[in-house]
Structures are given as C-alpha cells and as structure tokens.
Structure 1
Amino acid sequence: MDASTSLKHRMARNANAIVNFVQVSLLISGLMLFIITFNRSIEQLAIIDAKHKTEVEYRVAAPLDIAPADPAPETLTPKMHAALGYVSQRYRVSAAALEPIFAAAQLTGRKLRLDPLLIIAVIGIESRFNPFSESSKGAQGLMQVMPRFHRDKLPEGAGQLSFFDPVVNVGVGAQVLEESIRRNGGLVAGLQQFAGAPDDEEQAYATKVMAEKQRLEQAARAGATKDA
C-alpha cells in the first residue's frame, strides 16, 4: 500500500514537472516571438520614418508652383476721384458703375499719354456713360467705336460683343482718339476726325468735348481743395 502510494506521488510530480516545463517553453517561445515581431515593427517604423523625411525634404526643396497674383486694381488719383463724383451726379450713374470706367481711362491715358479727363469728356458726349449705347450707324459702347473699322484694336480673345464691354471700349476708343489727334496735328482737329466731322468749320463736336472737359477739371480742382 505504501509503495503504491509513493509511486503515484512520484508520477504526479513528474507530470507536474512536464507540464511546468511545457508552460515555461511556451512562455519562452511566446516571448521570443514577441521580441522578433517587435524588432520587425521597429525596423518598419524606421523605414516609414525615413521615407517620410525624404518626402518632406523633397517637398521643401522642390520649387513652389504658385500662380501669379492678380494685378492690383487701378487706384484713382484724387483728381479722378473728384471728377467721378461730378459725373455720378451729372449723369445719374452710380459711383460703383463708374469706377471701372474711370480706372480704365486713367490707365489707358497713362499708356497713350492722353489726359484721362479728355477720355472721360468724350465718353460723356458720346454715350452719357451708357455702355450699351449704339448709334444708327453702328457705333457702339461708351466711346461709340465703329466695330468694322477698329476690330483690329480689340485685345486677343475678345468676343463679338466686346465693344459693349466698358473697359475694352475705353481701351479701343482711346487708341482711336490718340491716333486721330496725332494724325491730324492737334487736339481740336483730332476730335473732329474722331467724330467723323473733319470738315465742320464750326468745330461743334470739339467745342462740346472741351467744354465738358473744362467742367470736369473744375470739379476735380474743387474736390481736391475740399479734401485738402
């Protein structure tokens, strides 16, 4: 009886030892697998980090493709700003609608060496600042430009209705006016040619434009004095 019991105890201890050995072996194997997996993860993270740094460095080093900013809008001089107020009241046109017209006249006048107030005076006489004005002879827009004679002066890509565009019309009309003055040797003769009345001995058109220009200049001076 005692021998049998002793044998059972020894077998139980051996079984426990085997189980413990297996458990320890599994624990060690699991730990080794964890270490291997962890090391591989570290390596992969290092690779990803290096790749990310390379991409960042490339983006920083690569030249930036930035579209050029739109040109700043033309700022009216105090003289032109005062004249705009006069025109707004005289012709009952909102200042907001007149601003691009005056800006175009100022910019074009500077390029062509024309007094911008002369351009504004011509617009007042020709169309009373109605950009959709059209004469019985086919003259169109603010400065009543004849499309069949001056289509070559349109900017590239301009459409069929461009002469009714205020800014385009001012640009083309001012070119026609400058050419008329230059070719006819003077302001009065140039204005008469611009109006298609070079043989008018009374020079009625030039007289109207010059009178309107004088009113604009008076308004500009008054506005400048008031601001001062």
Structure 2
Amino acid sequence: MTLHCTWCTPIRTFLRDTARGLFIVTHSGLAMVGLGAAALVLALWWQPQWLHQAEGALFDWLRERQVLLSWLPENAADRATAVYLQDLPRPQAAVAVWLGRKYKVAPEPLAALVAEAHVLGKKYKLSPHLILGVMATESSFHPYVQSQAGAQGLMQVMTGIHVQRYEAYGGKLAAFDPITNLRVGAGVLADAIKLRGGSIEDGLKFYLGGYELTEDGGYVGKVLAEQALLDQVAAGVNVPVQ
C-alpha cells in the first residue's frame, strides 16, 4: 500500500524555486562584482591619481594601527619643513633659490621658511624680508645653532627667557623646530620694535641685546643690507651672491 504525501509536492516546489532563486541571485551578484571590478580597473587607468590616493590612505591606515610595522616605512614627508618651489609665487621662489645659493642650504626648506615669513609679515605688519634678514644674520639658516649665551635656532631666540612663548608649541624643545622658532622669533622681533616706539633700527638693537646693549657691532646694518638685497631679488633683479 503506497502512502500519498499531500505536503511533499509543495515542499519540493518550494525547495526547487528557492534553489533556482539563489542560483539566479548568486549568478547576478558575481556578474555585478565582475562588472564593478572592471569599472574600477578602467577608472584607475583613466585617473591614476585615484590609485595613489587609495594607496596612501591604505598605508596611513596600516601605519596608524602599526600593522606590518617591520617593513612598512614611516611617512616622514608630512613632517619635513620643506615645500616645492613651484608651489610658491615667483618672487618668493626666487628669494628661496638665491638664499640657498648664498648660504648653501637646500631651496625646498628655505621655500617653507620664505612662505612662513610672508605669513608672519602680514600678521605683525613687518617686511618678510626683514624677518629673513634677521634669520640670515643670526643663524645663516641653520636651525640647530646655539650661541654661548643660550640663543637657539634660526632666529637665535633666548629660549630660557622666552620659554612661555614655546608652551603653545609643546615646550622649549620646539625651539629646534624651524617653523616654530621662526614664529616665536618673529613675535619677539615685533614686540621689540613696538617697545622701541616702532623704530626698526632700535627694535633690532633691542632684539640683539635688550636694554644693556651699547654697541651692535654692525648687526643692524647687516640685517638691513640683507633685507635690501632680498627686495631686489624678489623684484627680479639679478643680484650676485656675495
């Protein structure tokens, strides 16, 4: 005697339809993945900078999580005090190149300092070439110079006296960061000029030695002469490196 299963047929139909639907969805999904991959390859071929950006984002993500740290190098370019000359206006780039030739310093770090000097010049209402002239005279653009009196960095700021100015930048060790030293030094210079009634010459003397200074040893003349040369370079004059 054969038993008739009244519910087997619907179940078989349901399972068959389900299997067919899964096949269709899976097949369509794989096709979509393939089309998406092809579109991605085409897009990266058409816009290769997207690939570089994606690689950079991936490397940054790996670095932040210290994944494969043993072979993945640190991206130190973001910490370098340097910019490309072509990213500056032509007069600023000319000044950076001229200073590099004169003081035997790479032009890219100088380009960053020149650009920052222009920012600070607007902030403190000073000639950026005056600020650069002070740097040239004080340190010849070498950021780790230290005097016997304790003046440090590009602008030869007395770190012990102006330590509070460095607090906003993380402490007195920031004196050896070129941009930080430039910013602090420009602020000290602006305050010195203001304190001496707006006189550039008297402000430079005060910047050099404070109230106790009696003879500047030609310091003011050197700074102003450097400023005048930089003005000519920026104006397009062919100034020889002396």
TM tier relative to shorter chain: 0.5 to 0.7
> 1:123 and 1:156 mapped to 2: Cα distance?
22
Specify the alignment match of 2:165 in structure 1: 153
Return 159-168 or 117-126, whichever deviates more.
Answer: 159-168
Which amino acid in the other structure matches residue 76 of structure 1?
L
> 2:142 and 2:14 mapped to 1: Cα distance?
83
The answer as to 2:171 corresponding to 1:193 is: no
> 1:201 and 1:136 mapped to 2: Cα distance?
18
Within a 5 Å distance, the mapping from 1:162-181 to structure 2 comes to 162-181=174-193
1:32 to 2, 7, 10: 10
1:116 to 128, 134, 137: 128
Structure number with larger C-alpha Rg: 1
* Cα drift, residue 192 of structure 1: 0.4
> 2:215 and 2:143 mapped to 1: Cα distance?
30
* Cα drift, residue 34 of structure 1: 4.0
* Cα drift, residue 146 of structure 1: 0.5
Is residue 163–residue 171 contact of structure 2 (8 Å, CA) maintained in 1?
Answer: no
* Cα drift, residue 83 of structure 1: 1.1
Specify the alignment match of 2:92 in structure 1: 80
Specify the alignment match of 1:138 in structure 2: 150
Unaligned runs of 5+ in 1: 1-17, 42-69
- The two structures, once aligned, show a CA RMSD in angstroms of 2.8
> 1:38 and 1:151 mapped to 2: Cα distance?
80
> 1:131 and 1:202 mapped to 2: Cα distance?
23
CA displacement 1:25-44 (0-9 Å, x = unmatched):
23x32113346778999xxx
Return 96-105 or 75-84, whichever deviates more.
Answer: 75-84
> 1:153 and 1:159 mapped to 2: Cα distance?
8
What is the TM-score normalised by the length of structure 2?
A: 0.63
Unaligned runs of 5+ in 2: 20-77
CA displacement 1:102-135 (0-9 Å, x = unmatched):
2221222221111111110000000000000000
Specify the alignment match of 2:22 in structure 1: none
Q: Where is the helix percentage greater, Structure 1 or Structure 2?
A: 1
Residues 202 and 160 (structure 1), Cα distance of their counterparts in 2 relative to 1, 3 Å cut = closer
* Cα drift, residue 159 of structure 1: 3.4
Is residue 76–residue 106 contact of structure 1 (8 Å, CA) maintained in 2?
Answer: no
What is the TM-score normalised by the length of structure 1?
A: 0.67
* Cα drift, residue 200 of structure 1: 3.4
Residues 86 and 201 (structure 1), Cα distance of their counterparts in 2 relative to 1, 3 Å cut = same
Residues 82 and 221 (structure 1), Cα distance of their counterparts in 2 relative to 1, 3 Å cut = same
